[in-house]
Structures are given as C-alpha cells and as structure tokens.
Amino acid sequence: MFRSHILVCGGAGCTSSGSARIVTAFEKELATAGLDKEVKVIKTGCFGLCALGPIVVVYPEGAFYSQVKPEDIPEIVEEHLLKGRIVKRLLYSETVQEDTIKSLGETDFYKKQLRVALKNCGVIDPENINEYIAYDGYMALGKVLTEMTPEEVVQCILDSGLRGRGGGGFPTGRKWAFAAAQPKGVKYVCCNADEGDPGAFMDRSVLEGDPHVVLEAMAIAGYAIGANQGYIYVRAAGIQDALLIVLDSQGNYVKSITSDTYTSHDMGGLCLGKDGRIYTQIQKGSQMGIATVDLQQGTLGEIFMNLVPEGTVMLDIIAPVSDNGLVFWGYDGIFTYRPGDPKADCILPASEAPFAWENTPRCALPDGRLVFADCTKYRTEGEEVFRVPEYTRFYYLTCTQ
C-alpha cells in the first residue's frame, strides 16, 4: 500500500515539455528520501490542460502542480511528501482560493466539461488493468456476455444513436448490423486509430491514456458481430515516440528507450559497433545523427549530431567497419563516420552510384565491403516504378580497410 500517489501527465503536450524528466527526478528524489516504498509515481494519459505542462497531481490531497521543472522536485518531495506542506507557489493558480485548495472539477477549465471517452485519462495508470477495473472497467463487457444476446447488443447500439466521428457520421449500429448479418466464418473487428486531423491526436489521447476502454469496446463489437479476432491500426502519429523497444530472448517486452529531445528516423538505424557499443540513428529537426544506447539504464549515451550537411537524408546505419567506423546509407550517398570525429565523410555520392539507389538491399561483409543488389528502374504512364529483374547483379563497395 502506498500513502501517496504522484500522477505525472504522459500525454503528447506534457511529454514534449519534458514530463519524462519529471518522472525520473521524482523516482530519484523519493529513493534518496527513503520514500520509494511509500509513494508511487504513475505516468498517466492526458489531463487536457496541455498549456500548463508538465502537470503533476499528488493524491490524496489532489494538489495540482503545473509547469513543473526537474529542479522543483526536491522541494515537492521535502515539503509536501515529507512534511505535509503543499508547495503553493507551484500550484495551478485557479486551484488556490485563500487558504483552501479547490478540486480540479471546480476550475473554469474543467467545471463545464463532461468527459466520456476521455473520462479515465489523467486519472488511472493506463498500463494497469486493475485500475481500469476499479473505475468500472469491463463491467459493460461482463453485462453483454452474461445478460444479452448479440442481436440485443446490436439493437442497443442502434437505439443509442451512436455515430462515427468522421464527416459522414454513419450510424455505428448499422455497421454492426451489416457485419452481423454476413455468413458465419472468420470475421475481424478493426479499430481505425489513424488520426483524421493531423496534429490533433484525438485517437492518441485515448490509446495512451485509457487503452483498456478500446479493448473492451472491441470485445463487445466482436461478440455482437461474431468475430473472434481484432486488429488496431495505428501509425507513428498515434504512439509515443520510442527510439528502441527492448525485448527479452522470449520476445517479451522489457522496456522502451525514449528521448524528450531526439526522435528516431523511421525507427531505422541500429547496429553493434566494433567497440562493443550499440549505436542508433536519431533525428532532431532536420538534423540527423547517431547515439550510443545504454540498455541497462534505458537511455541514450553519447550524442553525435551535425554529421552531414543539413537536409541530407540518412536512411540507416548499415554496419560497423574497421577502426570502429560506422556506415550510413541514404538517398544522398554513402557516408563513413568514426565516433568522435566532427563530420562524416561521403565516400560515394548517389549521383555516382552504378545502380538504382532507392530501396536497394544491402549488407556488409566481414572485410568491410558493402553489398548492393541492383534493381531495374523504368517508367510507365509518367510514374516511376521499380521492379526486380529475373536476375540480380551484385555490386561491392569497399568502405575502409
């Protein structure tokens, strides 16, 4: 049992303003103060008030700290969690009224809101099924499975008037009725979590902040239409940026390696250098670079940026070569780089390549040579198309010895 819970917003807005550093700072300070067995830090979904991020709420008091910085954490731990004195200077101003603290629901921003789809976001730990269940999660599924027939479920959705949120506003009940009426066999429930409005992140907020509500709804839909499999379609815009996902030898999730400053370029670029360190490709704005990866700490190590001219597209780290060098492959050419050098060297511009450049398979030989498979390129009706010929020629490029 924990006597206090610290909820740190992990939504897109707060993440971009450094909430991951807040979580790390709290964990460090709590351990130093000997409170890590009494106080639990939880990363939640979006609170909604993104302009005040990073947001931290401490329960049971419900103290709403806004625009928190890592340097504020020792004071919160010392004053609030050790001595029981809320740090008023860090509170959201609307929650402070003379000597009392108002609840969030009484502030101007929240008091007129009726949250439905997002009611659990910012309230529960999205990765803890027990917290979802504590807020009546899966009760609807239980009722459907024990008290209703599939036909009754479809009729319930029809009677509710629920519609799709796209431009057509098509009745959800009719979709379910059409699917249920199809001949028995393999059916699927597909959750389209693609963002219709770029940058809006509406689907992202639900997926990150309350994923079990999506799973429960899909299970209900599956029961109603006779499906026993489901798929969730989500692009990179719908998940938090992770440079690397670490799995164990059995394929089980271990940890994510993320960064508030850098992103991965198409999740590409990862290799083991001859110096024994793991390198990954990173991107900040239009600049690309590489970084070492500390798997034990789950963080990036050394950062090497501005290695190539701005705008140069580096698609992947191909392989390590001799002298601890790395090779970048991209639309603009092949670059070699030794960590610590100021710049990468272009050893073969794309304009001089004797083969079609894009989407070319590649690998490295132990002697440092790179292998490229040629593919034939031709045009049809004004569009450039690539095809693999019946036979493939291989080209070798010696990088360094």
Could you read off the pLDDT of 261-316 as tens digits, one per residue? Answer: 665 554 456 677 777 777 777 777 667 777 887 777 767 778 888 777 766 666 66
The mean per-residue pLDDT over the stretch 338-352 comes to: 77
**Residue 107 domain-assigned (yes or no):** yes
Tell whether 156 and 47 lie within a shared domain.
no
Provide the CATH number for the domain around residue 178: 3.40.50.11540
Number of domains making up the chain: 3
The CATH number of the domain where 100 resides is what? 3.40.30.10
Q: Which of 197, 214, 237 is the last residue of a domain?
A: 237
Q: Are residues 87 and 144 in the same domain?
A: no
Q: Specify if 338 maps to a domain.
A: yes
Same domain (yes/no): 246, 381? yes
Check residues 20 and 226 and name the one with the higher pLDDT. Answer: 226
Mean pLDDT of 369-390: 47
Is 124 inside a domain boundary?
A: no
Are 167 and 232 in a shared domain? yes
202 and 267: one domain?
no
Residues 246 and 370 in one domain: yes
DSSP 55-113: -EEEETTTEEE-S--GGGHHHIIIIIIIT----GGGB-GGGEETTEE--GGGSTTTTT-
Q: What is the dihedral of CA 245, 251, 255, 257, to 10 degrees?
A: -20
254 pLDDT above the threshold of 80: no
3-state secondary structure 81-92: HHCCCCCHHHEC
106 and 32 part of one domain: yes
- What does the pLDDT average to over 31-53? 88
Question: Does residue 164 form part of some domain?
Answer: yes
Q: Which of 176, 209, 237 is the last residue of a domain?
A: 237
Q: How many helices (H) and strands (E) does the chain have?
A: 9, 23
Please tell me whether the overall predicted TM-score, pTM, comes out greater than 0.75 for this model.
no
Report how far residue 313's alpha carbon sits from residue 334's, in angstroms, rounded to the nearest whole number: 10
Kindly indicate the confidence band of residue 236, based on its pLDDT and cuts at 50, 70 and 90: low
Expressed as residue numbers, the domain containing 246 is 241-398
Distance CA 104, CA 371 (A): 61
Q: Does residue 394 sit in the same domain as residue 247?
A: yes
In a domain, 35, yes or no: yes
Q: Is residue 227 part of a domain?
A: yes
Q: b/e map of 279-312 (b: 16 or more CB within 10 Å)?
A: bbbbbeeebbbbbbbeeeeeebeeebeebbeeeb
CA atoms within 13 A on the CB side of 233: 8
Please spell the DSSP secondary structure of 342-396, one letter per residue. Answer: SS-EEEEEGGG-SS--TT--EEE-TTSEEEEE--EEEEETTEEEEE--SS--EEE
Report the pLDDT value the prediction gives residue 177, as an integer from 0 to 100.
Answer: 95
In which band, very low, low, confident or very high, does the pLDDT at 138 lie, cut at 50, 70 and 90? very high
Band of pLDDT at residue 58, cut at 50, 70 and 90: very high
Rounded mean pLDDT of 200-204? Answer: 64
- 266 and 215 together in one domain: no
Assess if residue 126 is contained within a domain.
no
* Domain contains 131: no
Same domain, yes or no, for 338 and 283? yes
Residues 223 and 303 in one domain: no
The pLDDT mean for the chain works out to 77
> Considering the chain, what percentage of its residues have pLDDT values greater than 90?
24
Q: Are residues 221 and 332 in the same domain?
A: no
Q: Which of 220, 237, 254 is the last residue of a domain?
A: 237
Residue 388 banded pLDDT, cuts 50, 70, 90? very low
